[in-house]
């Protein structure tokens, strides 16, 4: 509780122990305007008696020049400051020039309340019907949002690399248990669904390819189609999309719920880096398990295609494997697997950054989980497109 005039604790035992005086608000005419005289103690337990008077004053037409004189106030806490500041702002929004007297310019309590009000104030809406300015405003806001996303992502990457360096040099302990736990959750437990999805997709591609190639009497070339397509594109892409929806959303939900419960702030208070504790193990685990899952997806997709071609067009497994051996090589396998670490890092960074942006409500958590999944899938497809262009440019 601060003194309204000096912004310091009230001195003197007698003054601190007296009964608080009821706050009052009176209006007086002065040369050039109206002076609102404040008196008494504006405290949380006393301002209720003057709140109606403040509301009536806020709605009244007092002219263009108004001074709020707080020199007669004894003691004032946050509730009193908030009431006075809201009165001043309400009168100012009506077009009046409001001057606050009797309060030091560097009053800490007033500065804190003003900062809190400014943070909670909604962003001003643009002018309605401005067809020329609205598109530019949307583009500007979008560019600033992209800039903020990039800065946050680079912060996570930089902090993770810095933390990795400290662990390699022995300055910080390596938490292998956390990394292995995340590998189990993101990799081992995701293997069945990844294998099943890839098996089905491989079978569907083989069936559709054989149906189209039958018109040309070239059903055998469906093996070439499924081998190249599954190993270079479909396997790693399906895996990354599944991991983005499964593990990416889990990362955002976990970090976001910790942010809501202020556990992330607690880590900072006790001297731990939240990125090193929460994000680094997840990034490392994703980078390790995604290439392994992509390889499993490749095997499952080829197995699904083999079963389909055997039952649908009569190509036996031996002939399928022989033709597959002739159409692909080790470079075809690595052309797909080399994308997996990049996709894993993107999924981890996007999911972690969205989790760190969660506010204090369940609605905010849901919005950021959705945003994490959508952004991750979009960026994974974009990265896959860049790799396709790069491979085409070098003839690989």
Calpha distance 234→205 (Å, rounded): 10
What's the pLDDT tens digit per position in 54-85?
Answer: 888 888 887 788 888 888 888 888 888 888 88
Cα–Cα distance list, 335 to 2, 19, 395 (Å): 67, 80, 12
Cα dihedral angle (42, 44, 46, 49), rounded to 10 degrees? 100
pLDDT tens column, 263-321: 888 888 887 888 888 888 899 999 999 999 999 999 999 999 999 999 888 889 998 89
Token reading at 237:
């892409």
Q: In what order do the strands lie in the sheet with 33-42?
A: 24-30, 33-42, 65-76, 97-101
Cβ burial, residue 36 (10 Å; 0-12/13-18/19+): buried
CA 227 to chain CA centroid, Å, is 38
Distance between CA atoms of residues 116 and 126, nearest Å: 23
Q: What is the mean pLDDT of the chain?
A: 84
Q: Give the model confidence (pLDDT) of 145-181 as tens digits.
A: 888 888 888 888 887 787 777 777 776 777 788 889 9
Which value, in Å, is the radius of gyration of the alpha carbons in the chain? 33
DSSP tag of 357? T
Q: What does the alpha-carbon distance between residue 396 and residue 383 come to, in Å, rounded to a whole number?
A: 17
For the chain, the 3-state helix, strand and coil shares in percent, each to the nearest 5, are 70, 10, 20
- Mean pLDDT is highest, among 12-21, 24-33, 148-157, 199-208, for 199-208
What span, in angstroms and rounded, lies between the C-alpha atoms of 107 and 85? 13
* Site of tokens 């556990």: 263
């Amino acid at each position: 509780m601060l003194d309204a005039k000096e912004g310091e604790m009230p001195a003197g035992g007698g003054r601190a122990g007296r009964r608080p005086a009821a706050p009052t608000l009176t209006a007086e005419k002065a040369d050039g305007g109206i002076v609102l005289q404040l008196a008494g103690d504006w405290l949380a337990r006393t301002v209720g008696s003057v709140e109606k008077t403040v509301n009536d004053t806020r709605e009244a037409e007092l002219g263009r020049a108004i001074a709020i004189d707080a020199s007669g106030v004894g003691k004032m806490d946050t509730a009193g400051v908030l009431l006075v500041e809201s009165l001043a702002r309400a009168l100012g929004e009506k077009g009046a020039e409001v001057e606050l007297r009797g309060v030091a310019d560097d009053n800490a309590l007033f500065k804190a309340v003003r900062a809190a009000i400014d943070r909670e104030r909604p962003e001003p809406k643009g002018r309605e019907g401005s067809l020329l300015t609205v598109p530019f405003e949307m583009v500007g806001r979008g560019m600033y949002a992209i800039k903020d996303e990039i800065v946050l992502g680079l912060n996570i990457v930089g902090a993770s690399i810095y933390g990795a360096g400290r662990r390699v040099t022995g300055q910080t302990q390596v938490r292998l248990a956390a990394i292995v736990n995340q590998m189990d959750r993101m990799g081992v437990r995701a293997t069945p669904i990844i294998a099943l999805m890839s098996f089905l997709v491989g079978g569907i591609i083989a069936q559709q390819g054989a149906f189209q190639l039958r018109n040309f009497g070239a059903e055998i070339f469906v093996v070439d189609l499924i081998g190249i397509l599954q190993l270079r594109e479909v396997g790693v892409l399906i895996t990354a999309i599944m991991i983005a929806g499964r593990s990416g959303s889990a990362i955002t939900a976990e970090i976001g719920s910790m942010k809501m419960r202020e556990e992330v702030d607690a880590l900072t208070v006790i001297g731990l880096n939240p990125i090193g504790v929460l994000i680094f193990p997840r990034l490392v685990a994703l980078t390790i398990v995604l290439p392994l899952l992509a390889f499993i997806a490749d095997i499952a997709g080829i197995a699904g295609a083999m079963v389909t071609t055997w039952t649908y067009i009569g190509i036996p497994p031996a002939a399928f494997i022989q033709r597959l051996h002739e159409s692909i090589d080790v470079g075809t396998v690595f052309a797909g697997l080399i994308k997996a670490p990049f996709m894993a890092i993107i999924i981890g960074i996007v999911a972690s950054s969205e989790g760190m942006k969660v506010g204090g409500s369940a609605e905010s958590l849901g919005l950021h989980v959705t945003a994490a999944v959508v952004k991750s899938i979009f960026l994974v497809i974009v990265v896959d497109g860049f790799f396709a262009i790069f491979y085409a440019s070098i003839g690989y």
